[in-house]
């Protein structure tokens, strides 16, 4: 920590570990080598692993079914370009339509039945419907069966989602949900491979033979999924809901719409998320006729389909970590713009090999926007309206999907194939490519508007943030207890807010540790005397940085980690950010070197939340009659320190709360309490 921890507070442990509730299977960096986001650690949980296998098979079946049914609809329509687009659009539209009508009812049903048997029977019913499609062999039954299968899936999905929190520890839930998302969209890639392989191997037997075989393989995945769920005995009936209020779909829509339209950031997120889904839906809706125009046939359709959803899964799984230097708002907007550019590339490229690579990039960008947008909604929306807002978002997304999947093929069919002659040369274009180009322009515009409205780092070049992403570690965030750091310049009021926060936390029944840097340990007290006493005089800036890092190493090992392991809320007055601001920017040392030393000293342990009290240096320094060695630095030094704090907060806004320290202390305390309340550990017996 550069700077110093303010005085005026009694330092030391103020918690009693014996009163803490027991936390089963929690991550601690001292005892568990797997961090909370480790996907392999989630899969080591036997019950979840078996459910995940079943879920993966069901997802695989869904995607094979989508490919097979759209191909079957195209085969029934014959060679007529418009009829083929209309048939495919009908299948895609009917896959989404039940969710608009049956979504709330399906969730209500899933909550009142035994979840395990709901999933088992649901898988068997879906397998039976798919087997019946080739047997009946008509386009009408394809459309009817599509609706019935989707209704069953609407009940199966909530039953699965509601079961996951009961199968994994609380700190593994985020990783479990991430794995579910990756599986949902990533299974499209093996589905595309299977579909492509079937169509290639059986090409000589006719189109319907290949498609029917793909449908039977699809039915087999659902049958195996149901059998796998039989072994997951940990899944049971939902708890009692007799006293819960179940709002109507109309009330949910109205309340969600009111909040979304009245909140600019949330409004931008909803529009952007819908745009990301629409971009992917355009490719899927037009993919079959698009590859037909490229003479790629069913194998090309499977490859393009897998490329889009494989890219989507990659974007969801890796974009936030790969581009960690970008704030979520910037990543969200950049992904939208990238989706638009990718769509334009597909519209203009007439080679299936290049189109496949572009489709992967398009899916990656859309996935990055999807996951960052949903995370931002969780952070930006208050808890008391979060459920209604997410219900509205789900309805809006499904509406956009339904409209896009239905309209895009019809627009492409209406345009048809056109040939324009210019002198001796002629240019041929088709409706699928033209529709993609129109959608590309709209997606790019939406992304640029989102960038202007949501950019949280104006004036900072985008490519600088991208470069910062590479080589940057994501850190370790505690999953037991709660780690809070208070940062800011001299005289910002950290000690005052620390005292108020300790009192409030104790009133909430929390166990609290209030500490500081430097000086919380015996070694720290000696180091504090060296770095802050004016009598020390000038010392090497690198030596000063190393002294602060030494204090941190002892502080983390002997004070912070034991308290977090015991489940306490740990509040530290200054932490690594102070070293980066004071020694990195203030002393003008290489920021990368300072960060590397301090991250190593703390084993990259990071606060769950950093509260930055922002105050102009002139105002803060005016509160001191006598100044220590750090307070006595030049005004330019303290201005650089302030700018560095703000820059750090802007880089990862999800882990920061930046407050105007000129406000009175009660206002500041209220804002801190509001942000922390949803994050507090549960108090048990």
pLDDT band of 116, cuts 50, 70, 90:
confident
Query: What residues have CB less than 8 Å from 141, skipping those under 6 apart?
Result: 132, 133
Task: Quick: pLDDT tens for 633-669.
Answer: 677 888 888 888 888 887 777 788 889 888 888 999 9
Contact 368, 271 (CB under 8 A): no
Contact 423, 303 (CB under 8 A): no
3-class secondary structure, 625: coil
Contact 219, 151 (CB under 8 A): no
In our burial notation (b when 16+ CB lie closer than 10 A, e otherwise), range 180-212 reads: bbbbbbbbbbbbbebbbebbeebeeeebeebbb
* Encoded tokens for 427: 């240019």
Question: DSSP string spanning 352-408?
Answer: HHHHHHHHHHHHHHHHHHHHHHHHHHHHHS-HHHHHHHHHHHHHHHHHHHHHHHHHH
* Encoded tokens for 105: 């009812």
Answer yes or no: is pLDDT of 681 > 80: yes
Predicted TM-score (pTM) of the model is: 0.55
Q: Looking at residue 503, what is its pLDDT? A: 94
Task: Quick: pLDDT tens for 2-18.
Answer: 555 544 334 334 333 33
Q: Which CATH superfamily is domain 44-237 in?
A: MFS general substrate transporter like domains (1.20.1250.20)
Answer yes or no: is pLDDT of 178 > 50: yes
Asked whether this chain's domains 44-237 and 249-472 adopt the same fold, the reply is: yes
Stated as kind and residue range, the H or E segment containing 61 is helix 46-77
Task: Quick: pLDDT tens for 578-606.
Answer: 988 888 877 777 878 888 899 899 988 99
pLDDT band of 575, cuts 50, 70, 90:
very high
Q: Please report how the helices 328-348 and 264-293 are oriented relative to each other, as an axis angle in degrees rounded to 10.
A: 20
d(CA 368, CA 336) in angstroms, rounded, equals 9
Give the whole-number percent of the chain exceeding pLDDT 70: 75
d(CA 482, CA 495) in angstroms, rounded, equals 19
C-alpha distances in angstroms, 428 versus 288, 418, 421, 425?
Answer: 18, 6, 9, 10
d(CA 584, CA 465) in angstroms, rounded, equals 18
Q: Looking at residue 221, what is its pLDDT? A: 87
Task: Quick: pLDDT tens for 100-113.
Answer: 666 556 656 665 67
Answer yes or no: is pLDDT of 624 > 70: no
The rounded mean pLDDT for the chain is 77
Q: Looking at residue 28, what is its pLDDT? A: 39
Answer yes or no: is pLDDT of 186 > 80: no
* Encoded tokens for 79: 């060679």
d(CA 587, CA 81) in angstroms, rounded, equals 69
| CATH code assigned to 12-29+476-679 | 3.40.50.300
Question: DSSP string spanning 204-270?
Answer: GG-HHHHHHHHHHHHHHHHHHHHHHHHT-TT--B----TT-----HHHHHHHHHHHHHH-HHHHHHH
Domain 249-472 has CATH 1.20.1250.20: yes
Answer yes or no: is pLDDT of 368 > 80: yes
- CA-based radius of gyration for the chain: 29
Locate the domains of the chain by residue range. Answer: 12-29+476-679, 44-237, 249-472
Answer yes or no: is pLDDT of 685 > 60: no
* Encoded tokens for 533: 């006493």
Contact 65, 218 (CB under 8 A): yes
- Rounded-to-10 torsion of CA 17, 19, 24, 29: -20
Answer yes or no: is pLDDT of 33 > 50: no
- Interval 536-558 mean pLDDT: 87
Query: What residues have CB less than 8 Å from 586, skipping those under 6 apart?
Result: 2, 633, 637, 638, 640, 641, 644
**CA angle, 302 then 306 then 311, to 5°:** 155
Task: Quick: pLDDT tens for 219-274.
Answer: 898 899 888 888 887 776 544 444 445 555 456 556 556 766 777 777 777 777 77
d(CA 199, CA 299) in angstroms, rounded, equals 6
Q: What are residue 428's DSSP bridge partners? A: 419
Least confident of 97-101, 191-195, 224-228, 382-386: 382-386
Q: Looking at residue 30, what is its pLDDT? A: 36
């Amino acid at each position: 920590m550069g700077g110093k921890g303010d005085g005026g507070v009694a330092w030391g442990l103020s918690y009693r570990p014996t009163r803490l509730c027991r936390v089963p299977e929690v991550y601690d960096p001292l005892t568990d080598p797997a961090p909370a986001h480790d996907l392999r650690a989630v899969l080591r949980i036997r019950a979840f692993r078996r459910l995940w296998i079943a879920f993966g098979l069901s997802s695989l079946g869904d995607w094979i079914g989508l490919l097979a049914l759209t191909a079957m609809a195209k085969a029934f329509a014959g060679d007529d370009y418009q009829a083929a687009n209309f048939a495919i659009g009908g299948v895609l539209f009917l896959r989404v339509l039940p969710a608009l009508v049956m979504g709330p009812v399906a969730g209500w049903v899933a909550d009142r039945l035994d979840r395990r048997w709901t999933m088992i029977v649901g898988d068997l019913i879906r397998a039976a419907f798919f087997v019946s499609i080739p047997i009946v062999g008509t386009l009408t039954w394809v459309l009817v069966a599509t609706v019935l299968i989707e209704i069953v899936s609407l009940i199966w999905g909530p039953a699965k989602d509601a079961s996951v929190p009961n199968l994994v520890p609380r700190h593994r839930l985020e990783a479990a949900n991430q794995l579910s998302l990756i599986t949902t969209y990533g299974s499209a890639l093996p589905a595309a491979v299977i579909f492509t392989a079937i169509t290639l191997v059986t090409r000589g037997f006719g189109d319907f033979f290949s498609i029917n075989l793909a449908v039977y393989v699809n039915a087999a995945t659902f049958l195996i999924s149901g059998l796998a769920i039989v072994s997951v005995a940990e899944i049971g009936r939902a708890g009692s809901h007799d006293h819960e209020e179940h709002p109507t779909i109309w009330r949910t829509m109205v309340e969600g719409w009111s909040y979304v339209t009245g909140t600019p950031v949330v409004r931008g997120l909803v529009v952007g998320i819908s745009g990301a889904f629409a971009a992917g839906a355009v490719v899927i809706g037009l993919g079959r006729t698009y590859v037909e125009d490229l003479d790629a046939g069913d194998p090309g359709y499977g490859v393009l389909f897998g490329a889009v959803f494989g890219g989507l899964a990659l974007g969801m799984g890796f974009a936030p970590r790969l581009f960690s230097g970008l704030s979520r708002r910037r990543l969200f907007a950049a992904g939208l713009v990238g989706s638009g550019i990718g769509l334009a590339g597909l519209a203009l490229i007439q080679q299936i090999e290049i189109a496949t690579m572009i489709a992967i990039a398009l899916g990656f960008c859309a996935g990055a926007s999807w996951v960052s947008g949903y995370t931002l909604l969780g952070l930006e929306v208050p808890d008391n309206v979060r459920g209604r807002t997410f219900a509205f978002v789900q309805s809006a997304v499904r509406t956009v999907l339904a409209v896009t999947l239905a309209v895009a093929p019809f627009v492409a069919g209406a345009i048809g194939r056109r040939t324009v002659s210019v002198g001796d040369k002629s240019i041929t274009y088709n409706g699928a490519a033209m529709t993609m180009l129109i959608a590309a322009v709209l997606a790019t515009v939406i992304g640029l508007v989102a960038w202007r409205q949501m950019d949280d780092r104006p004036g900072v070049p985008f490519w600088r943030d991208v470069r910062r992403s590479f080589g940057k570690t994501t850190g370790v965030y505690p999953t037991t207890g709660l780690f809070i750091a208070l940062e800011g310049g001299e005289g910002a009021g950290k000690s005052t807010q620390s005292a108020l926060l300790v009192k409030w936390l104790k009133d909430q029944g929390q166990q609290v540790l209030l500490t500081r840097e430097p000086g919380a340990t015996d070694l720290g007290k000696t180091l504090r005397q060296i770095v802050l006493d004016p009598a020390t005089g000038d010392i090497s800036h690198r030596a000063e940085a190393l002294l602060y890092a030494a204090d941190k190493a002892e502080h983390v090992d002997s004070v912070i980690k034991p308290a977090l392991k015991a489940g306490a809320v740990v509040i530290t007055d200054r932490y690594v950010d102070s070293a980066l601001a004071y020694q990195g920017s203030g002393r003008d040392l290489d920021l990368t070197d300072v960060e590397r030393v301090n991250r190593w000293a703390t084993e990259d342990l990071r606060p769950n939340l950093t509260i930055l009290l922002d105050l102009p240096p002139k105002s803060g320094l005016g509160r001191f009659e006598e100044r220590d060695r750090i307070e006595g630095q030049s005004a330019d030094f303290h201005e650089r320190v302030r700018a560095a704090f703000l820059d750090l907060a802007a880089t990862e806004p999800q882990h920061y709360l930046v407050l105007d320290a000129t406000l009175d202390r009660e206002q500041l305390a209220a804002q801190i309490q509001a942000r922390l309340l949803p994050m507090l550990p549960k108090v048990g017996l």
